[in-house]
Amino acid sequence: MNDTKTKKKMAFPHTLIIILIMIVFAAILTYLIQAGQYDRIEVAGRKVVDPASYHTVPSNRATPFDIFVAIPAGMQAVASISNMVLIIGGSFAVIEATGATKAILAKVLKMGGHLGAGLLPIVIIAFSMLPAFTGNAESMLAFVPLGILFARTLGFDAMVGLSITIAAGNAGFASGLFNTMTTGVAQTLLGIEMFSGLWFRAIGYGLLLCSVCFWTVWYAVRVKKNPAKSVCYDVEMAAKAEQANVSEIDSELTTRRILVLVEFACGIGFVIYGALNGWNFGTQIAAVFLIMAVICGLTGGFSGNRICEEFVIGAKRVLVGALVVGFAKAISLVMDQACITDTIVYAFSSMLSGMPRVIGALFMYIFQVIMNCFIISGSGQAAATIPIMGPLGDVLGLTPQTVVTAFIFGDGLTNLLLPMSAATMGAVAIAGITYGQYVKYIWRIIVTNLCIGGAMVVIATMIGL
């Protein structure tokens, strides 16, 4: 009787299982939704939809075999991002093995550790700036290992490390401050000056940062008081079993370690420079990390074999993330091959016509949130939806700037949750946590940010931005 009552708790499904279910669901939709397409025309050098050209096309329903074909096809389509995840994981493992990063963080803890969670808002603001200015959320993957190490050094957990990097980066990206891929494309397609309305987006950026800072500090304080309240407590226990506590870390900054830190700082400087100048993250930025691994490893006194061994260990830790990125891409491939994505856009846009101004703006925002589940690319979503939303906004009495506001917040905020997001799933893999643990933590930030986004859209509508 007691054995019956003490049933083993069902394990949360593996991330790959969750994504496979989503792929199957996308395949089922190909049988339920009529295939259709918009004609594409060139506007400002970009291929965008012609809003008046929607028409049905012959169905191309996904077969069970197509579901599995889409997975390697998806891995091939996002190979550069998957490669970047593996290379970052391997390279940081080499640098971390030298002991330089742990030594400097131990020094930081001794000097300013008394501030504890008070340091987090400063770090969050700093990490949010790169995506805010480059418009590339994947750039934050480069800083996830450092963020996690920093968080653990202060006595928090890996989730705090993700929050100060990925959640902070998402606030910068979703605000659309200087995001050429979302704000820039949308404003260009609507014929308004690029990056106009900056003051309004800056307010949104500040509010999103307040949300991330509040929930991160709230959670960090709880974990500091009682580590058992960590949503990834099992991961933290395993991490502590593998390495010494912060107090036991050799904090001596030897000449070798100082040189490694200088080289690491220079490498990160090149990453930032490359991001600001449009370098390819899967090749050029990844190459910078490879160079960092080799130079820092040699400076740290490692042999060639030791560098390779540490690199492989690091790459193994993030292998699931590299796979997840490819699996997730398969979802959109199944829908695109069946030509149902445009049908979904057409159906939602038809529902919005005739609504009151504020309600219509809110539904436009919700529409963009939903469409982000199907078109994860910011520039791709702009090209597919803005030519439709622009004229619809005119009918509803919305300014082009309000249409852009609904788009940028609707497009960016849910990237922090979607398993199709390369930045999100890559970070989850690097942290070594499950997607379920991640959702258990991040939902508060996402709900708060979505409310902020909706409020910004309503305000933009009311003031006639």
pLDDT confidence band for 369 (50 / 70 / 90): very high
What region, left, alpha or beta, does residue 195 occupy, with left being phi > 0 and alpha being psi -120 to 50 degrees? left
Angle between helices 435-463 and 400-412 (to 10 degrees): 170
Burial of residue 255 (number of CB atoms within 10 Å: 0-12, 13-18, 19+): exposed
Stated as kind and residue range, the H or E segment containing 55 is strand 55-56
What is the rounded CA–CA span in Å between residue 338 and residue 27? 9
User: Is the predicted pLDDT of residue 106 greater than 80, yes or no?
Assistant: no
Q: Phi and psi for 375 in degrees, rounded to 5? A: -125, 90
- Region 8-35: mean pLDDT is 83
Please, which pLDDT band fits residue 63 given cuts at 50, 70 and 90? very high
216-248 pLDDT, tens digit each = 999 999 999 999 999 999 888 888 776 654 445
Question: For the ranges 150-159, 295-304, 453-462, which has the lowest average pLDDT?
Answer: 150-159
- Comparing 189-198, 363-372, 404-413, which segment has the lowest mean pLDDT? 189-198
Tell me which H or E stretch contains 46: strand 46-49
Q: Which structure tokens are listed for 102? A: 């742990």
- The set of residues, in sequence order, having a beta carbon less than 8 Å from that of 52 and lying 6+ positions away, is none
Distance CA 405, CA 465 (A): 9
Give per-residue pLDDT as tens, 292-335. Answer: 999 999 999 999 999 999 999 888 877 877 787 788 788 888 98
- C-alpha span between 169 and 364 (Å, rounded): 24
If phi > 0 it is left, if psi is from -120 to 50 it is alpha, else beta; for residue 191 that is left
For the stretch 188-202, pLDDT in tens is: 888 888 788 999 999
Residue listed under structure tokens 């930045």: 423
Of 338 and 2, which is predicted with more confidence? 338
Tell me if 313 sits within 8 A of 93, measured CB to CB: yes
Which residues in 129-253 belong to E strands, given as ranges? none
Q: How many other CB atoms are there within 10 angstroms of residue 439's CB atom?
A: 15
Q: What's the rounded Cα separation, in Å, for the pair 101 and 423?
A: 23
Residue 77 has pLDDT above 80, yes or no: yes
Q: What is the pLDDT of residue 274?
A: 81
Using the structure block, give the residue that is written with the tokens 């709230």: 218
Q: What distance in Å separates the CA atoms of residue 102 and residue 177, rounded to the nearest whole number? A: 34
Q: What is the pLDDT of residue 247?
A: 45
Mean pLDDT computed over 100-107: 74
Tokens 């009151």 correspond to: 356
d(CA 155, CA 227): 9
**pLDDT digits over 266-301, tens only?**
988 887 788 777 787 778 888 998 999 999 999 999
Residue 405 pLDDT > 90: yes
- Comparing 42 with 66, which gets the higher pLDDT? 66
Cα–Cα dist 373/371, whole Å: 5
Q: pLDDT averaged over the chain?
A: 85
> Residue 402: pLDDT band by 50, 70, 90 thresholds?
very high
Q: What 3-state DSSP class applies to 434?
A: coil
Write the CB contacts of 176 (distance below 8 Å, at least 6 apart in sequence): 182, 183, 201, 204, 404, 408, 409, 412
Task: Give CA–CA dist 226/218, Å, rounded.
Answer: 13
**Total residues found in the chain within this entry:** 465
DSSP 3-state of 99: coil
